[in-house]
């Protein structure tokens, strides 16, 4: 019984990791309507950056905000130079551009760091175990759960209760009217895209410990992130949280109870949800 609870904690921690990485994609996909298949690549950039700066001696906890800011700036730079011209183009062109970006970044990582797996040094207090309610839980898992919960609350607050959030929603619903009342949509979109990239980078940095890191990371991870967004419904923070936690726990449970089923259950779940609810659990109907 207690091992089942431990598996569930594992699943929730994995789910929070997925949420952290996927929520930025949900925002670009759902609110900005840009199909960003390079999102996993942003996560990869964050992961490599974290490995490098932690390797150079920066404390893990300081590396995280650094990664957040640097990948965010990188995202804004890409948005300003290329992506802003693609908002009005077809889904296919967005797919092509972003896959191209993902391939190029993956190849660059391969050139710079080589094809081997990278590890990250996490501080001792994160690798230990904590006794909680009679259970031994890795403190890294607890840390992930806390990070995920804090990010979810912050994002829901940002999008639902601040002027920034209101402006974003206005700009998405009616760009022309939003511009008409003086909202600087261009700047708003650049910032939002940067926020999405920054979150991806943070998620990537946090995932090195659990998932490992190599140049194939960008595309491997992307499938999982797209599934979170698809099941949760693009553009909904709560949806992403629900879907990520659901996927995480289902994945952990089946790995524990029925290992042969493997990835099957997850993908089966995706197809089932999309059959019943094509827009996802909490999706806005386009």
Partner 1 sequence: MSALNPISHGGLSKPALSFNPITPLIFAALIASYFLFPNHLALATQILVLMIFALSYDLLQGHAGIVSLGHAVFLGLGAYGSAILARWGFTDPLFGLMAGASISALVALVLSPIVVRGSDFTRLLVTLGVASLIHEAANRMRDLTGGADGLADFEVAPLLGLFAFDFEGRTAFLYALIVFAFVYAALWRVTTSPFGLALRGIRENPRRMPAIGSPVARHLAVSYLLSGAIAGVGGALLAQTSRFASLDMLGFERSAEIVMVVTLGGTGHIAGVSIGAAAFGLVKDALSTVSPRYWQLGLGIVLMASVFLARGGIGGLIERFCRFGRRA
Candidate ranges 43-51, 140-148, 202-210, 219-227; the one touching partner 1 (CB under 8 A): 219-227
Instruction: Indicate whether 258 belongs to the interface with partner 1 (CB under 8 A).
Output: no
Q: Which residue has the tokens 């698809």?
A: 230
Instruction: Indicate whether 77 belongs to the interface with partner 1 (CB under 8 A).
Output: no
Contacts of partner 1 in 39-58 (CB under 8 A): none
C-alpha pair distances (Å), 150 with each of 63, 66, 238: 18, 18, 13
Q: Which x/- pattern, by CB under 8 A, does the window 178-207 give for partner 1? A: ------------------------------
- Judged by CB under 8 A, which of 96, 142, 170, 210 binds partner 1? 96
Handedness of CA 85, 231, 175, 42 (dihedral sign): negative
> Do 68 and 203 touch, CB atoms closer than 8 A?
no
Contacts of partner 1 in 17-36 (CB under 8 A): 29, 35
Candidate ranges 50-58, 172-180, 220-228, 244-252; the one touching partner 1 (CB under 8 A): 220-228
How does 55-70 read in b/e, with b if 16+ C-beta sit within 10 Å?
eeeeebeebbebbbeb
Shortest separation between residue 253's beta carbon and partner 1, angstroms? 17
Instruction: Indicate whether 260 belongs to the interface with partner 1 (CB under 8 A).
Output: yes
Question: Phi and psi for 123 in degrees, rounded to 5?
Answer: -60, 160
> What does the alpha-carbon distance between residue 267 and residue 255 come to, in Å, rounded to a whole number?
14
Q: Which residue, 88 or 176, has its beta carbon nearer to partner 1?
A: 88
Candidate ranges 61-69, 129-137, 156-164, 266-274; the one touching partner 1 (CB under 8 A): 266-274
Q: Which x/- pattern, by CB under 8 A, does the window 99-138 give for partner 1? A: xxxxxxxxxx-xx---------------------------
> What does the alpha-carbon distance between residue 170 and residue 187 come to, in Å, rounded to a whole number?
14
Neighbouring CB atoms inside 10 A of 29's CB total 21
Q: Which residue, 23 or 54, has its beta carbon nearer to partner 1?
A: 23
Structure-derived torsion over alpha carbons of residues 240, 246, 250, 252, reported in degrees to the nearest 10: 70
Farthest CA pair distance, the chain: 60
Question: Phi and psi for 121 in degrees, rounded to 5?
Answer: -90, 110
- Judged by CB under 8 A, which of 230, 237, 243, 247 binds partner 1? 230
Where does this chain bind partner 1 (CB under 8 A)? Answer: 29, 35, 82, 85-86, 88-93, 95-97, 99-108, 110-111, 219, 223, 226-227, 230, 234, 260, 262-264, 267-268, 270-271, 274-275, 278-279, 286
């Amino acid at each position: 019984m207690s091992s089942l609870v431990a598996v569930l904690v594992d699943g929730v921690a994995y789910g929070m990791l997925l949420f952290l990485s996927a929520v930025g994609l949900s925002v670009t996909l759902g609110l900005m309507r840009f199909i960003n298949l390079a999102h996993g690549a942003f996560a990869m950039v964050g992961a490599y950056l974290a490995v490098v700066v932690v390797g150079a001696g920066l404390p893990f906890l300081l590396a995280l905000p650094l990664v957040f800011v640097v990948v965010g700036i990188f995202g804004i730079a890409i948005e300003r130079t290329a992506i802003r011209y693609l908002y009005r183009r077809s889904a296919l062109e967005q797919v092509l551009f972003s896959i191209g970006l993902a391939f190029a970044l993956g190849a660059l990582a391969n050139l710079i760091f080589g094809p081997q797996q990278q590890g990250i040094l996490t501080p001792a207090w994160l690798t230990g175990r904590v006794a909680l309610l009679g259970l031994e839980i890795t403190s890294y898992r607890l840390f992930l759960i806390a990070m995920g919960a804090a990010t979810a609350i912050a994002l829901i607050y940002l999008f639902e209760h601040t002027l920034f959030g209101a402006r974003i929603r206005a700009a998405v619903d009616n760009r022309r009217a939003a511009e008409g009342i003086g909202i600087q949509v261009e700047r708003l979109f650049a910032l939002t895209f940067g926020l999405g990239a920054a979150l991806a980078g943070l998620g990537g940095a946090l995932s090195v410990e659990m998932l490992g890191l190599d140049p194939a990371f960008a595309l491997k991870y992307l499938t999982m992130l797209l599934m979170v967004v698809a099941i949760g419904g693009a553009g909904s923070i709560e949806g992403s949280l629900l879907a990520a936690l659901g996927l995480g726990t289902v994945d952990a449970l089946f790995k524990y109870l029925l290992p042969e089923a493997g990835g099957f259950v997850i993908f089966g779940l995706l197809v089932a949800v999309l059959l019943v609810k094509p827009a996802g659990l909490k999706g806005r109907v386009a």
